[in-house]
Amino acid sequence: MKKLIKLLILILLNISVYFIYNNTKNSTYRILILGDNLSLANKQTYIDYYKTYKLKKYHQVYLNKSYSKKDLSVSNLRKDIQANKTIKRDLISTNILIINVGYNDLVYKISLLEDKNPNKLATILNEIRNDYLSLIKEIKKYYHKDIIVIGYYPSLKDDYYLNKGITYLNKILREPTKVIYIDTYNDLNNNKYFSNSNTYFPNTLGHQVISKKLIKTLENNKNIWYINKAIYIYGKLFVMAEGEIIWKREYIQK
């Protein structure tokens, strides 16, 4: 009897997880992107490819790029959120939030240095880190799910301090909790992903690579979520079944 109850629980669990997994096909999915040039640099960016992918699973997919700006800095994005009620509303209602920030800050601040040295780079990175952690804190007031953060790739420019700064910037981006970091550093380390050596942002092929990495990472995390959810539900049902069996045995013994 006990084995039969466990088997029934397992069957019901698999059915319920299946329906949870597939009930999105006729629903709406909202994507909010807060980013710099990376989300705007091409006609088809990584986020546009991600939207196309989501259209295979959802009836409607809305992509909101309206708050992304070229040359957007981390601190200015935080100020935009603080001052704009519409952004706050969209943060609350979106299904997923993707951000790519910090690269503009690094490039701009390094360009202002007349005499580059490790101490000045460390100062720049510390400023970016403080601004970034403040931004994440502000975002989490309105958005309570995991934030998707796009990491950056090596620069083609022959600039030791810029490339050193990028490696440390990526460490900063993955630092906060409830962040899913998309590591692109080793995926775009080839000239074919950039239109020329003077650009900071990838070409169409490069954006496709970022999109594939984004999809793969999120799918892996989603699978882990479903497994954990299944384990949780199974554990709850198993405890209930065990309790029912113990209650019946004690009742019969009386």
Instruction: Answer whether 27's CB lies under 8 Å from 58's CB.
Output: yes
Instruction: Answer whether 128's CB lies under 8 Å from 172's CB.
Output: yes
The amino acid occupying position 123 is T
Quick one: which H or E segment has residue 147? Answer: strand 147-150
pLDDT band at 10 (very low <50, low <70, confident <90, very high): low
Q: In the predicted model, is pLDDT for residue 245 greater than 50? A: no
**Residue 108: both structure tokens together:** 């701009």
Quick one: which H or E segment has residue 222? Answer: helix 204-253
What pTM did the predictor assign?
0.78
Q: Could you tell me which residue, 175 or 223, shows the higher pLDDT?
A: 175
pLDDT band at 230 (very low <50, low <70, confident <90, very high): low
Per-chain mean pLDDT for the chain: 83
| pLDDT-wise least confident of 69-73, 110-114, 119-123, 244-248 | 244-248
| pLDDT-wise least confident of 19-28, 208-217, 225-234 | 225-234
- Delineate the domains of the chain, giving CATH numbers in brackets: 25-223 (3.40.50.1110)
pLDDT 10s digits, 90-140: 999 999 999 999 999 999 999 999 899 999 999 999 999 999 999 999 999
Q: Could you tell me which residue, 131 or 190, shows the higher pLDDT?
A: 131
pLDDT 10s digits, 50-61: 999 998 888 899
Q: In the predicted model, is pLDDT for residue 246 greater than 50? A: no
Query: Helix, strand, or coil here: 191?
Result: helix
Which pLDDT does position 147 carry in this prediction? 95
Strand-pair category, 179-182 with 28-35: unpaired
Q: Which residues contact 51 (CB under 8 A, 6 or more apart)?
A: 31, 61, 63
Q: In the predicted model, is pLDDT for residue 17 greater than 60? A: no
**Percent of the chain residues topping a pLDDT of 70:** 76
Query: What's 187's DSSP letter?
Result: T
Which pLDDT does position 125 carry in this prediction? 97
Instruction: Answer whether 101's CB lies under 8 Å from 74's CB.
Output: yes
Which pLDDT does position 57 carry in this prediction? 86
Which pLDDT does position 41 carry in this prediction? 73
pLDDT band at 210 (very low <50, low <70, confident <90, very high): very high
pLDDT band at 70 (very low <50, low <70, confident <90, very high): confident
